[in-house]
Amino acid sequence: MKTPNTTAFSEAEARKIIHQLHVRNPQMVKKEKVTILKKFGFSQSGIYKMLSKFDQTEDETCVQRKPGSGGANKKVTTRKAVQIEMEFNHQTGKSQRKTGEKLKISAMAVNRTLRKSNIKYRKRQGHPEAPADQYSRLQNLAKNEIRKKTRKVLVMDDESYFTFSGCKMPSNAGYYSSDPSLTPRAAKEYPTKKFESKVMVWCAISSTGISKVFVANKGQTINKDCYQAILKSHLIPFIDKKCGGRANCIFWPDLASSHYASDVQTWMGSEGIKFIKRENNPPNCPQLRPIEHFWSILKQLVYANDFQATSREELIKRIKTCLKKIDVEVVKNMMQKVPEKST
């Protein structure tokens, strides 16, 4: 049998053909009906949708499309385009469908207007609750530390933990499957431990590059003595070799208690390291500290393709290898923008 040309039928005619076959053959199973109707060139999904609708009622009026069921298809005027931009840009809690109803246009028209204006839906990010004095600290940081010394190279450091598996990373949190019952267990499940093995890594970054990382020994904590040793073995060589010397830099430590221990501050002063004072260092400000984003980039590389380390040595080797893959220019650019963000 030669397959009929789909262009020979209008939408209304196609609906009638499907309806007639459905009514005249009540004993025929749905799969057989679909096989016959597909020979007319109708899409399988469209046939199933129509048959499901006809199962709900025997009324012939269901064959006809209801007026307006396809949504409004009115042209978006310049005025409405501006209204849509003002309604959505830099806003949250907005609905394209409700905006379309208000402006008497389709949701698709709203979507097209947003795409033309390069207004995209973006996921909101959480941030720690800021203390009451954070704004004043930011002002002091901008006025007395960063903006005042714009010619100096800003250096910041931080520590971060790396677990043996990256199952909780966004890229590894889910899996794709056409049938979960056929998916291997290793793909849809991951082992959980109450105390997962992890490695602590220290690193410093600046507008001139990335320092060598320090990997803490198993069970080692970063107290004041350990932190001072890290600064001596890793930070000072980084500042002297890549940042133009200690007189050319200002150091922005993390607010951990060991970082601002009195012995550490005294030692930094004696070594000629100029650092941001604790009273001017704002807490809970990841948006001002690009090193937080740096850790995110590094972890995405480390745990790519659902990497899982089998030993501490394998994880450390992976971290150091992935560190070399980071685009240094991206890190430099992030650090160069800190003075602008602090105002």
Give 229-257 pLDDT, tens digit per residue: 999 999 999 999 988 888 889 899 988 88
Positions of E strands within 55-166: 153-163
142 pLDDT higher than 90: no
What are the C-alpha distances in Å from 223 to residues 83, 88, 216? 56, 48, 11
**pLDDT for residue 186:** 74
% of the chain beyond a pLDDT of 90: 30
**pLDDT for residue 44:** 85
Question: Angle at Cα 14 formed by Cα 9 and Cα 17, nearest 5°?
Answer: 115
6 pLDDT higher than 80: no
% of the chain beyond a pLDDT of 70: 81
* Cβ-proximal residues to 155 (8 Å cutoff; 6+ apart), any chain: 204, 205, 206, 235, 238, 239, 243, 249, 250, 251, 252
177 compared with 261, residue with greater pLDDT: 261
Q: What's the Rg (C-alpha) of the chain?
A: 31
Confidence of residue 4 (pLDDT cuts 50, 70, 90): very low
Confidence of residue 342 (pLDDT cuts 50, 70, 90): low
Question: Angle at Cα 281 formed by Cα 275 and Cα 284, nearest 5°?
Answer: 135
